[in-house]
Structure 1
Amino acid sequence: MTHLLFFTVEGIPCALPLAEIRQVVGMVELRPETGRRRGGAGTMNLHGRTVPVYSLRSLLGLAERPPLPTDVLIIAHPSGECVALWADGVRGVQESRVQLPPDASSSPGVLPTEEGEIIVHDLGAFLAAEEIAHHLLPDGAAVAGGATPPHDAEKAGEILAERARAVARPKKENGETPFSELLTFRLAGQEYAIKTQYIREVFIMHEIIPVPGVPDFIVGICAVRGEIISVVDLRALFSIPKHGLTDLNRVIVLSDGTMTFGVLADYITDIYIRPTDPFSPVEPDTTPIEQRYLLGAIDGSVIVLDAAAILADPAMVIDQTRK
């Protein structure tokens, strides 16, 4: 079963095979490049390597706008080449719901679905195509004259420049990267983050079967490609108060090779990397979660959970003999 990374471009849901993606980083300040290539937005320095950046807006024939800190760069490697794709944001990882037959569309490497999604099943062919894929766009998509969302241009420029300096730093000689890759998600009005090394996959919640006699924080069990896993509600586990309406429709599957279970989230907000400098302390009264489950905070308000500590918690091991 093929897994796809879903992302958005001007509100249009798009996807790429997860196997072609190396990582996702926050948007950085781009460097100009000489020459012209279709969809070319500039280049970025990724650990000392110059990587071409493609604007998916341009490739799809949408209106261009300046980069924003909320944008993302999807680092992919079609046919062994390293490229960066500029998108608006990441939605998460899902199993493919469509078959990808050869010559599936009139635009090379791309398959539009009946649900209005654009599946880029062959990135190399899509980038090499000579024409803009206007016909792939849903009715009403803005192909010209798009407006830039309100933002502080000076502050945005500072953020993009700092990120560019961070990702340009070389990797350590022992092969370890000086960065942490994080997935951020929303839960009960608060944004949390988990290191992606502990995340096996993310999927839209389907049927969860309740199990009698288990702790309140165990919502139930569900089948994931033939494997039965338990699903945990972190709000109940950590006594997190509910704030307004929530829509727990995402399951983040955590694993350390020994323990595996899913946790509920309202939605995925971002996937990006940051330097492995110490995280900021979590401000008092920000969260009821005990300090032993926290690594710290980033960007002032995003709380980084210690997935290793959560996975190792003895409370997660259900005693099947308990009455």
Structure 2
Amino acid sequence: MTHLLSFTVEGIACALPLAETRQVVGMVELRPEAGNRRGGAGTMNLHGRTVPVYSLRMLLGLPDRPPLPTDALIIAHPGPDCVALWVDRVKGVQESTVPLPPDGDISSSPGVLVADNGTVLIYDLSAFLAAEENGQLPLPGAVGTGGEEPSCDPGRAGAILAARARAFAQPEEEPPETSFSEILTFRLANQEYAIKTQYIREVFIIREITPVPGVPDFIAGICTVRGEIISIVDLRTLFSIPKHGLTDLNRVIVLTDGTVTFGILADYITDIGIRPTDQFSPVDPGMTPIERRYLLGATDGSVIVLDAAAILADPAMVINETRK
């Protein structure tokens, strides 16, 4: 399962692996650059660092146009260097199960493919940009639907872009002593929960769970993951979470601390992102029946952040023949 950042360019739906992105910012006034880099729209000053900006319009063979304040720049790191991708609009994060071409495949444009639903998936940004720089043809069949361009006074637009450019050119301020963690958010029994990704090995869609007699009720069964047998835990039973309405429970989030490994069931994955861990708010009484020792707090208003370390370290999670 791959998480993608989805965006549009001239009405074309596009996506990029979330792992290759750093941040999304509003469009800025671009500085000209020497040379004739294919797809090159100029450069931006990102806190004192010169970052090359690529126009996805040009790379996909679409008509060029001046930047607009409503456009976006995706700051990405396909390798050791940082680049910015100029797009029309960023839509959000989505899951993808599209199979990628094997290494060495030359039947498609390098680093990019068109999914069955028409989405242009740039699965290898380094290969895509390198191929374009070497003068290869734009992606075949990339035809825009002529997305609407918002009306904007050129003078006002230029002033907005210039002001943003000046702001991003300022040296980056030393951040306060704040710790951040990447968390995966998922839905279970009509409530959103989150877990730090440092404890998540993988996420997959499960087809079948094999029941095991004589184990605690919270063990839904076992399944095989690439030859390894792991237990599947139903958090609803473990924490006495009320079961409301119909649920899918077809996603498995594999948790591990290097010693203990098991999967937990979820209805579906909703998001993945960075959050300041020292700003988690207390969980209000009544939000969840889960004991406080298994909670880190709440974020984004109502998302309950579970303490994966505490769950993995709980002796109750270790099932052996001596347990009654």
Q: Same fold (TM over 0.5)?
A: yes
Unaligned 5+ segments in structure 2 are 151-167
**Match of residue 278 from structure 2:** 277
**Match of residue 197 from structure 1:** 198
Distance 2:42 2:304 in 1: 33
Cα-to-partner distance string for 1:264-308 (whole Å, 9 max, x where unaligned):
111111111122323111122111111111111111111111111
Deviates more, 1:293-302 or 1:94-103: 94-103
Superposed counterparts of 1:12-161, under 5 Å:
14=15, 16=17, 21=19, 27-29=24-26, 31-35=28-32, 38=39, 66=70, 75-78=76-79, 80-83=80-83, 88-92=91-95, 98-105=101-108, 107-112=109-114, 119-128=121-130, 129=132, 133=139, 135=141, 143-145=145-147
Q: 1:76 to 1:5 in 2, by over 3 A?
A: farther
Contact 2:61 2:142 survives alignment (8 Å): no
Superposed counterparts of 1:307-318, under 5 Å:
307-318=308-319
Distance 1:39 1:244 in 2: 52
Distance 1:89 1:212 in 2: 43
Which residue type is aligned with residue 106 of structure 2? Answer: D
**Match of residue 206 from structure 1:** 207
Cα-to-partner distance string for 1:170-226 (whole Å, 9 max, x where unaligned):
579xxx983111111111111111111111111122322111111121111111122
Contact 2:43 2:50 survives alignment (8 Å): no
Distance 1:67 1:201 in 2: 34
- Residue 220 of structure 1 aligns to a residue in which SS? strand
Distance 2:4 2:142 in 1: 16
Q: 1:189 to 1:227 in 2, by over 3 A?
A: same
Distance 1:57 1:253 in 2: 39
Q: 1:291 to 1:245 in 2, by over 3 A?
A: same
Contact 1:281 1:297 survives alignment (8 Å): yes
TM-score by length of 2: 0.70
- Residue 126 of structure 1 aligns to a residue in which SS? helix
**Match of residue 302 from structure 1:** 303
Q: 1:113 to 1:299 in 2, by over 3 A?
A: closer
**Match of residue 181 from structure 2:** 180
Identity %: 58
Contact 1:27 1:67 survives alignment (8 Å): no
Contact 1:44 1:50 survives alignment (8 Å): yes
Which residue type is aligned with residue 30 of structure 2? Answer: E
Which residue type is aligned with residue 258 of structure 1? Answer: T
Contact 1:104 1:111 survives alignment (8 Å): no
Q: 1:77 to 1:92 in 2, by over 3 A?
A: same
Contact 2:239 2:290 survives alignment (8 Å): yes
Tell me the number of residue pairs that the alignment of Structure 1 and Structure 2 aligns. 286
CA shift for structure 1 position 261: 0.8
Q: 1:8 to 1:250 in 2, by over 3 A?
A: farther
Which residue type is aligned with residue 139 of structure 2? Answer: A
Unaligned 5+ segments in structure 1 are 149-163
Contact 1:293 1:306 survives alignment (8 Å): yes
Contact 1:65 1:147 survives alignment (8 Å): no
**Larger radius of gyration, structure 1 or 2?**
2
